[in-house]
């Protein structure tokens, strides 16, 4: 209940100060390897093309290609040597190779010899597939040998009977720290509150979140709102119309990460 009220207040304040708006944005952003020398060569190439000067056009066309190839090569070397973020490097490689994913979700899906293009139908078909895919996996039972069973029994007997795992209450300082540790580039969960906005709101929400988390710890519960995940289908291979060619990625509400970090710190 406390988290539900918190969500309503946060969304109301967010809508008041930063309402969602639809805006068409043209992409004028140039790739990181693009520089003024390439821009100048490209303009010169286009100038001679408009003048129908084929000799100078071919000359500057080749010059532009060579400058682009050289600049890309230098950028790749620098990225590998200095940048430890593999995600950033692979993003560049995919763009350079033309592996851009214009639409990350399936546009049509085939199921029971029928083709569906309605978004609601596609979502339900994908959800049913991901939910039931484990039914096709036969359980494998590998009984432990007596040798390992004896080791486990021996270890269990060394643990005092009153030894229990308890989760300590979290401090305001820790909640503040964990909020600032959130990666703003990560996806937003089903609650529509992403890590970027939470991180920006740290100074205003850390005390209320501390109260809610400690309330959950005292009552030995984990909020239902934080158990629901947004399922994103990621294409693996081959035909994009078949559900079995996708793998699911679950995106939980970002606030659940604060719980996770606190519990993980005590393991």
How confident is the model over 34-56, as pLDDT tens digits? 889 999 999 999 999 999 999 99
Tell which residue, 33, 126, 106, has the closest CA to residue 76: 33
- Calculate the CA 60 to chain-centre distance: 42
For residues 50 and 191, what is the distance between their CA atoms, to the nearest angstrom? 53
Q: What is the pLDDT of residues 152-170, one digit of tens each?
A: 888 888 888 777 778 899 9
Q: Place 117 in a pLDDT band, splitting at 50, 70 and 90.
A: confident
Mean per-residue pLDDT for 111-116?
84
Q: What is the pLDDT of residue 254?
A: 92
pLDDT classification of 85: cutoffs 50, 70, 90: low
Q: Beta-strand (E) ranges in the chain?
A: 109-111, 114-116, 230-235, 246-251
Pairing of strands 246-251, 114-116: unpaired
Whole-number mean pLDDT of the chain?
84
Residue 228, Cβ density class (10 Å: 0-12 exposed, 13-18 middle, ≥19 buried): middle
Least confident of 64-73, 120-129, 141-150, 248-257: 141-150
Question: What local confidence, expressed as pLDDT, does residue 212 receive?
Answer: 94
- Compute the distance between CA of residue 191 and CA of residue 229 in angstroms, rounded to an integer: 9
Task: Enter the pTM of the model.
Answer: 0.62
Q: Where are the domains positioned within the chain?
A: 36-96, 108-264
DSSP code at position 152: H
For the residues 136-149, what does the mean pLDDT come to?
A: 65
Residue with more model confidence, 176 or 113: 176
């Amino acid at each position: 209940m406390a988290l539900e009220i918190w969500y309503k207040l946060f969304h109301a304040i967010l809508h008041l100060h930063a309402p969602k708006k639809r805006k068409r944005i043209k992409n004028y952003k140039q790739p990181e390897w693009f520089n003024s020398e390439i821009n100048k060569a490209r303009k010169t190439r286009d100038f001679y093309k408009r003048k129908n000067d084929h000799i100078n056009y071919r000359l500057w066309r080749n010059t532009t290609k060579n400058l682009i190839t050289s600049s890309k090569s230098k950028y790749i070397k620098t990225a590998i040597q200095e940048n430890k973020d593999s995600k950033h490097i692979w993003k560049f490689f995919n763009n350079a190779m033309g592996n851009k994913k214009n639409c990350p979700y399936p546009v049509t899906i085939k199921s029971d010899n029928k083709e569906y293009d309605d978004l609601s139908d596609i979502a339900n078909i994908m959800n049913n597939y991901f939910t039931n895919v484990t039914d096709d996996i036969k359980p494998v039972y590998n009984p432990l040998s007596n040798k390992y069973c004896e080791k486990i029994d021996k270890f269990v007997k060394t643990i005092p009977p009153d030894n229990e795992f308890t989760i300590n209450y979290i401090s305001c300082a820790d909640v503040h720290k964990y909020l600032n540790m959130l990666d703003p580039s990560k996806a937003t969960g089903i609650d529509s509150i992403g890590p970027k906005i939470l991180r920006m709101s740290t100074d205003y929400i850390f005390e209320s979140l501390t109260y809610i988390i400690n309330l959950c710890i005292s009552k030995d519960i984990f909020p239902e709102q934080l158990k629901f995940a947004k399922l994103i289908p990621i294409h693996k291979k081959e035909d994009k119309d078949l559900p079995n060619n996708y793998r699911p990625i679950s995106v939980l509400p970002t606030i659940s990460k604060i719980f996770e970090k606190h519990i993980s710190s005590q393991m």
